[in-house]
Homo-oligomer: A and B are copies of this chain.
Amino acid sequence: MRHAVASSSDDTMLPGRAVRLACRSGALKGSTAGMALGYAQGNLAVLPKELAGDFLRFCQANPKPCPILGVSEVGSWEIPALGADLDLRTDIPGYRVWKDGEMIAEVDDVRDLWRDDLVAFVIGCSYSFEEGLIAEGIGIRHVEEDVRVPMYRTSIPCNPAGAFSGPMVVSMRPLAPRDAIRAVQISSRYPAVHGAPVHLGLPHLIGIEDLAKPDYGDAVTVRDDEIPVFWACGVTPQSVIATVKPSFAITHKPGTMLVTDRRNSEYAVI
């Protein structure tokens, strides 16, 4: 499936668009990890416009978990800067629908739920810097084990803004210490896609008691000669939605992302 998507017969089509069209047609329903290599993927958060201003300020105040790659016009399902012919209602493999802070459904298409008052936010994703790690020969455990990255709600509070507050969510990758050091260097180049880790080594200090029980995604093996390295995660808005309980929201399903037409390299600062 992944190869079929990556080698679309239309040679002029960017690989991100090929992935999006595969989602739109219903052919692709799972994780987007490793797809359209070289192109940035994004987390989705969709909120009614009366909350959008506060949420934008919340993201601005929390750039590590919520680095904004793009924002739609009110009512629009397009963000042209992130991709041609992009439909945020259909182009992500899976969606979560939220009512009053409760997730009420997981669906693969939200066309019938879209409203004229919705504003969509696309937030940077760690898949971008993972590519840099893999290029250096650093193994990514959840890729090796073919599961979703493990994610945890932490005791680190986000900076509040208006109605929005809540705990930061982090993703975890176990790494040998020397790879952890290299990973800090590599991911530091990409502040728009979470940047450097927020923690390493001592998970209980950030409220994580059991690495084997992630709050989102799947557990992965952590070896005795590895330390867990934690990055701020674009799933944070989902923990915030559960805290703030907005009347209505749509997010992506963790691990299944929007694939954009922006190159990861565009987000490197040095």
| A interface list, Cβ under 8 A from B | 177-178, 180-181, 184-185, 188, 196-202, 205, 225, 227, 270
A contact face: mostly helix, strand, loop, or mixed:
mixed
Is there an interface contact between A202 and B184, defined as CB atoms closer than 8 Å?
Answer: no
Residues of B contacting A185 with CB < 8 Å? 184-185, 188, 196
19 contacts across the A-B interface (CB closer than 8 A):
A177-B199, A177-B201, A177-B205, A178-B198, A178-B199, A180-B200, A181-B184, A181-B196, A181-B197, A181-B198, A181-B199, A184-B184, A184-B196, A185-B185, A185-B196, A188-B188, A200-B200, A200-B201, A201-B201
CA distance A201 to B185 in the complex (A): 17
Residues of B contacting A177 with CB < 8 Å? 199-202, 205
Residues of B contacting A197 with CB < 8 Å? 181
Residues of B contacting A181 with CB < 8 Å? 184, 196-200
List 14 other contacts, CB 8 Å, given A177-B199, A185-B188, A200-B200: A177-B201, A177-B202, A178-B198, A178-B199, A181-B184, A181-B197, A181-B198, A181-B200, A185-B196, A188-B188, A200-B201, A201-B201, A201-B227, A270-B270
CA distance A181 to B181 in the complex (A): 8
CA distance A17 to B213 in the complex (A): 58
Residues of B contacting A180 with CB < 8 Å? 200-201
CA distance A198 to B179 in the complex (A): 10
Identical chains in the assembly: 2
Residues of B contacting A184 with CB < 8 Å? 181, 184-185, 196
CA distance A199 to B199 in the complex (A): 16
**What is the CB-to-nearest-CB distance from A218 to chain B, in angstroms, rounded to a whole number?**
24
CA distance A204 to B184 in the complex (A): 22
CA distance A200 to B178 in the complex (A): 8
**What is the CB-to-nearest-CB distance from A183 to chain B, in angstroms, rounded to a whole number?**
9
CA distance A177 to B270 in the complex (A): 24
Residues of B contacting A202 with CB < 8 Å? 177, 225, 227
CA distance A157 to B198 in the complex (A): 31
Residues of B contacting A225 with CB < 8 Å? 202, 205
In the complex, residue of chain B having the shortest beta-carbon distance to the beta carbon of A185: B188
CA distance A212 to B177 in the complex (A): 21
Residues of B contacting A205 with CB < 8 Å? 177, 225
In the complex, residue of chain B having the shortest beta-carbon distance to the beta carbon of A228: B201
**What is the CB-to-nearest-CB distance from A159 to chain B, in angstroms, rounded to a whole number?**
15
In the complex, residue of chain B having the shortest beta-carbon distance to the beta carbon of A180: B200
**What is the CB-to-nearest-CB distance from A226 to chain B, in angstroms, rounded to a whole number?**
8
Residues of B contacting A196 with CB < 8 Å? 181, 184-185
